[in-house]
Amino acid sequence: MEEIAFINGRFCSLSEATISIEDRGFQFGDGVYEVIVARRGRPFRLAQHLDRLKRSTDAIDLPVDYAALNLPAVIEEGVRRCGFDEVMIYIQITRGVAPRDHVYSGDITPTVAATFKARPVHTHARARGVALETTSDIRWAKCSVKSTALLANVLIKNAARRRGFFDAVILGEGDVVRETAVANIFIVNDGAIRTPPATDHILHGVTRGYLLECAARLGIPCREVHFSRSEMLAADEVFITSTTMNVMPVTSIDGSAIGDGKPGTIAERLLGCFCEDTADSE
């Protein structure tokens, strides 16, 4: 088993992977990314992830010949080569290498990079639940684009960690809840789920969409609707979701216990549905 990379058509070891200093991804954060998990050789929701990747490149006016690139074959080969049972696949596409200039031309060849590593495990954190804090939104206005320019998210997440929290809930105007620095967020009251609607203010999470399907299958009422910080703090349950975490229960926010301060039953039911469908080992 080995962590490997794919750079512009060539597989190599992670230590050998290099990209030009003139790449616009490095110079401007001019690129997008996608994270996919493969379990026992099978990428989960691959079509949905690749559809979102295309939406992101389209949104930043980055033309990519996806047919020639054939990412499904690249992913299949990378998963096979690395040899991990559970693989985290990170794909990044930048506008490419060009002299540093804010204005870009249309004839630059995109840089396509991917890494294949062992998927991180969150079993212990999930069993006890995590603590979050709230913070104001300092990000750009197109959070639905999975941009590589994640400095604001990095600052938010690291500030939360320094204060002893797992992550931070990002609040918009009027203390409206959006998402966390790395995940979508759900609240539960009286057995019914709410999650912020899929606007430009949040990432349209693939796991988020999948869990909405799971909720419908389980007969759990679910609405995509705005809610406030105070409504979140008064919820019976809160949980966050992402590709790498699946479902992560939240047991406190800003020092206040959520519900009884323990992981909730709705999150557990949704995780069970997820594990059943994906043969997840967590």
- Number of neighbouring beta carbons within 10 Å of residue 200: 12
Asked if pLDDT for residue 111 goes beyond 80, the answer is yes
Count of all residues that appear for the chain in the document: 282
Same structural domain for residues 141 and 273? yes
Considering the domain architecture, whether residues 95 and 192 belong to the same structural domain is answered as no
Token duo for residue 96 = 């490419």
Residues 184 and 259 in one domain: yes
Q: Does 152 share its domain with 173?
A: yes
Confidence of residue 282 (pLDDT cuts 50, 70, 90): very low
Whether residues 18 and 108 fall in one domain: yes
Give the domain extent around 254.
123-278
Please give the mean pLDDT across all residues of the chain.
95
Lowest-confidence segment of 5-9, 108-112, 120-124, 232-236 by average pLDDT: 120-124
What value does the mean pLDDT take over residues 173-184? 98
Q: Do 149 and 109 sit in the same domain of this protein?
A: no
Find tokens 């939406």 and name the residue: 55
Domain boundary among 72, 95, 118: 118
- Whether residues 198 and 271 fall in one domain: yes
Same domain for 129 and 97: no
**Predicted local confidence at residue 278, as pLDDT:** 61
- Check whether 277 has a pLDDT greater than 70: no
Report whether 199 contacts 173 (CB < 8 A).
no
Question: pLDDT above 90 covers what percent of the chain?
Answer: 93
Cβ neighbours of residue 176 under 8 Å, at least 6 residues apart? 196, 226, 227, 228
CATH number of the domain that 93 lies in? 3.30.470.10
Residues 129, 268 within the same domain: yes
Q: How many CB atoms lie within 10 A of CB 162?
A: 8
The pLDDT assigned to 150 comes to: 96
Catalytic hit among 54, 117, 142, 146:
146
The count of domains in the chain is 2
Residue-wise pLDDT tens digits, 52-96:
999 999 999 999 999 999 999 999 999 999 999 999 999 999 999
**What is the model's pLDDT at position 122?**
85
Asked whether the predicted pLDDT for residue 257 surpasses 60, the reply is yes
The pLDDT of 179-203, averaged and rounded, is 98
Q: Look up the pTM and report it.
A: 0.93
Q: Any idea what the CATH number is for the domain that residue 272 is in? A: 3.20.10.10
142 is catalytic: no
Last residue of a domain, one of 79, 97, 118: 118
* Claim to verify: residue 26 and residue 60 sit in the same structural domain: yes
* Whether residue 130 is found in the same domain as residue 254: yes
pLDDT score, position 214: 95
Residue 281 has pLDDT above 50, yes or no: no
Q: Are residues 84 and 29 in the same domain?
A: yes
- Domain edge (last residue) among 118, 144, 176: 118
